[in-house]
Amino acid sequence: MKITNLPECESLPVAMKGAKGASRQLPIGKTDGAPNFSIRVFTLEPGGHTPHHIHESEHLNYVMEGSGVAMEGDTPRPISKGDFVLVTPHEKHQYRNTGTEPLVFMCMVPTEFE
């Protein structure tokens, strides 16, 4: 059993093309023994965003802090603290922080995509 929290988890900038003002933590991943799924946490500064892209894996998301939009294809959908989001495989998507505080969200993916 692993128990951790965000202050204990290293935060690294997201260097992925198309990302801006984004950092990533990995509270639970394959090196912890997670056999199928990993929990990543992304923090987007105001004005920051993840890539607007498509991939074969799904995302299971939970908004921990802040507000912004999740792009469903090219349509912005408002999200805020307490929202759960399912991005299905091959669905074009992006997270954007349109607020004035950091947008913090969990992003669960299969371990091979962590």
Establish how many alpha carbons lie within 13 A of residue 3's alpha carbon, considering only the half-sphere containing its beta carbon: 0
Is residue 100 within the footprint of a second copy (CB under 8 A)?
Answer: no
Closer residue to a second copy (CB): 45 or 83: 83
Among 44, 79, 103, 107, binds a second copy (CB under 8 A): 79
Report the residue from 14, 19, 22, 39 that binds a second copy according to the rule CB under 8 A: 39
The alpha carbon dihedral of 45, 93, 86, 70 has a sign of positive
Antiparallel, parallel or unpaired: β 67-72 and 93-96: antiparallel
Positions in the binding site for a second copy (CB under 8 A): 1-6, 27-28, 32-37, 39, 58, 60, 62, 70, 72, 77, 79, 82-89, 91, 93, 106, 108, 110
